[in-house]
Amino acid sequence: MSGPRPVVLSGPSGAGKSTLLKRLMQEYEGVFGFSVSHTTRNPRPGEENGKDYHFTTREKMQEGIDNGDFIENAVFSGNMYGTSKSAIEDVQAQNLICILDVDLQGVKNIKQTDLNPIYISIQPPSMEILEQRLRDRQTETEESLQKRLEAARIDMELSKEPGIFDIVIINDDQNEAYMKLKSALIEEIQKVQDAKK
């Protein structure tokens, strides 16, 4: 695959990945692109097919996985999620840095490919703060919240394993976390900007 190195961003739900990404994409407009993931879950209000996710059926997605069309896939809360090779290539073809927002299972799957991305983990300062952030969203049932917290506990433990991530950012202070994220990516950002000149 040619084009700028992709970025694999991981971390539990509620760690603040989306907020940091939004800032990055506002500051560096036209530098980043998202690979649009596939999922078998139903769209949430306001989500668009092809923009937020490629919403699909279990059968279709399983067929793609069996054919080797996905670089990673996972099952979360009973729904399938995955990143197709073509979704990444679409972004790289536009000379953009492709951002992949995946869980740890996805990170481990990507490590088995020839993608060569920059691996970044965004972590919450503590489980208590994470739980508060998730509760403040008021988007989940208690049962699904508990599942997310359990997944986050595992995620936080495993992210400490040496060699999994190039950088682990604790999102305690948003500005500080943002500066760390930016400095981890500045070299690739520069390449894209230079290519546009």
One of 23, 41, 137, 153 is an active-site residue; which one? 137
The confidence score (pLDDT) of residue 2 equals 62
Structure tokens at 111: 């490590």
Query: Is 5 among the catalytic positions?
Result: no
Mean pLDDT of 147-157: 88
One of 5, 41, 133, 148 is an active-site residue; which one? 148
What pLDDT, in 10s, does the model give residues 157-181? 888 888 999 999 999 999 999 999 9
Query: Is 153 among the catalytic positions?
Result: no
What are the residue boundaries of the structural domains of the chain, listed by start? 7-196
Confidence of residue 1 (pLDDT cuts 50, 70, 90): very low
What pLDDT, in 10s, does the model give residues 89-119? 889 989 999 999 888 888 988 998 888 999 9
CATH superfamily for 7-196 is P-loop containing nucleotide triphosphate hydrolases (3.40.50.300)
In whole angstroms, give the CA distance from residue 165 to residue 139: 29
Going by DSSP bridges, is the β-strand pair 70-76/79-84 parallel, antiparallel, or unpaired? antiparallel
Query: Is 148 among the catalytic positions?
Result: yes
Mean pLDDT of 113-136: 91
One of 44, 58, 133, 135 is an active-site residue; which one? 44
What pLDDT, in 10s, does the model give residues 50-93? 988 999 999 999 999 999 999 999 888 899 999 999 899 889 98
